[in-house]
Amino acid sequence: MAHPAPPPARFNFAQHLFARNEGRGAKAAYVDDHGTLAYVALADQARRVAAGLAALGLRREERVLLLMHDGNHWPVAFLGCLYAGVVPVAVNTLLTADDYAYMLAHSRAQAALVSGALLPTLQSAMERGPHEVKQLVVSRGSALPAGAHDFESWLTAQVPAARCADTGPDDIGFWLYSSGSTGRPKGTVHTHGNLYWTAELYAQPVLGLREDDVCFSAAKLFFAYGLGNALSFPLSVGATTVLMAERPTPDAVFRRWTQQRPTVFFGAPTGYAGMLAAPNCPTRDQVALRLCSSAGEALPREIGERFKARFGADIIDGIGSTEMLHIFLSNRPGDVRYGTSGKPVEGYEVELRDDAGAVIEGADQVGDLYIQGPSAALMYWCNRDKSRDTFRGAWTKSGDKYFRDAEGYYVYAGRSDDMLKVSGQYVSPFEVESTLMQHPAVLEAAVIGVNDDNGLTRCKACVVLKDARDAGEAMAKTLKEFVKRQLAPHKYPRQITFLHELPKTATGKIQRFKLREREAQP
């Protein structure tokens, strides 16, 4: 594959997309629960947002909180901000008022674009601490607070901005907050050029997205993975995207699969597991899937193989991060090795390093994963220590442990802060979890380290069963023996506890630190 040309010195990502899709006019760019948004209307409305922000007094590089459910207004708002050179701070829609109060203060957002259903939570956040929000624009809200603007009325009143902000590829484009799987979220600062590079290096050459595709992402737009899946990727090729405001439960996903007939679906391992276990999981002839993608956490081999057997479509598993914006290690159509994260995406370099920082050359040795590539974030806002720890010159430290097998495929070993040392040897929680999930009774599993009576670290598994009535000592013994037969003796879980659900971020990542905190409580 020829390496794509870099963006020009003067580059605005929103304008780049509008120019690329000028000939698509009435073709559907987005379909949500309220209707269809054509490509020509997407560009027009985004330019109206840009004009509206200027009318509200927003200036270049000032931040705007974007707290909206997935729907046609979201990409209009996001691209309108980029077009104006204003910085959208896209945040998780499932957080608490305390979380938003922190983000408002931290980002110093001057305005907020918010879904009506989320307005009460945002107002509560604004009452809890200092903030600089002077303007509120509310999408699909009925009762507006004094001084707030209705999104659609606000758009209609604007004359579309004639010219985009004179930005370059290295100008700050937007922020995303890290998902918080290891604690307090960090404001991750990305550029206009970063969106370009993820589309050019992954959407087309790896996924093979086409103009005739219909894309649907269970991962929401506020998530780095979802932003690529449902905005920069499909818009870069002129595809159509289905947006869904509600949470991606199996039933909600199945309705879109069978009614909207997406050809490419983007999900996370926990979602795939839940869908395969659902009693009303559709059959192959009820859907139009040609390809699926997974990220967020490593996809267990058993889930990928079962999904392919049922639907005939591969799940292309890969790993990305908020810091790198999208996927940099990936399986590929025609080269899927379930149980691995595949090989480096062209345009990215990957290294494994040992505890001393030396590069690991051999196979099957676990090390820290480092990435070099053009979509890396600039920094964590106002967090110099964390920025220095993560962004090391041209390299980004992912915080993940991996090993490379003899054929060059990368295999996930767990988060660096989740790794366990048992009997003097590293144990990957993910390896034990994946083994447990191969048992037909297990839906999900998370493994943490606990100290035994001698102060030694041992594995403990927190397990969600497909049928909670099976929980008990007999099942715990069965699962221990099951793992013993497949892994080294020191890796099997000495303790197993059964839970109704595992703590997760809104993007589906298991929060093992919460399980560790629960274990530490007296």
H helix and E strand count, the chain: 16, 27
DSSP 332-388: BTTB--TTS--EEPTT-EEEEE-TTSPBP-SSS--EEEEEE-TT---EETT-HHHHH
Q: What is the pLDDT, as a whole number, of residue 300?
A: 86
pLDDT per position as a tens digit, 3-21: 899 999 999 999 999 999 9
pLDDT per position as a tens digit, 154-166: 999 999 999 999 9
- State how far the Cα of 459 lies from the Cα of 496, in Å rounded to an integer: 9
- State how far the Cα of 178 lies from the Cα of 519, in Å rounded to an integer: 25
Q: What is the pLDDT, as a whole number, of residue 185?
A: 80
Residue 180 has pLDDT above 60, yes or no: no
Q: What is the pLDDT, as a whole number, of residue 160?
A: 98
Residue 505 has pLDDT above 80, yes or no: no
**Where does the pLDDT of residue 293 fall: very low under 50, low under 70, confident under 90, or very high at 90 and above?**
very high
Residue 69 has pLDDT above 70, yes or no: yes
Compute the average pLDDT of residues 66-70: 98
Compute the average pLDDT of residues 43-51: 98
Residue 392 has pLDDT above 80, yes or no: yes
Q: Chain-wide mean pLDDT for the chain?
A: 94
Residue 452 has pLDDT above 70, yes or no: yes
Q: Residue 283 — φ and ψ, nearest 5°?
A: -90, 170
- State how far the Cα of 318 lies from the Cα of 298, in Å rounded to an integer: 7
Q: What is the pLDDT, as a whole number, of residue 1?
A: 55
pLDDT per position as a tens digit, 312-334: 999 999 999 999 999 999 999 99
Compute the average pLDDT of residues 280-287: 97
**Where does the pLDDT of residue 506 fall: very low under 50, low under 70, confident under 90, or very high at 90 and above?**
low
pTM: 0.86
Residue 425 has pLDDT above 70, yes or no: no
**Where does the pLDDT of residue 510 fall: very low under 50, low under 70, confident under 90, or very high at 90 and above?**
confident
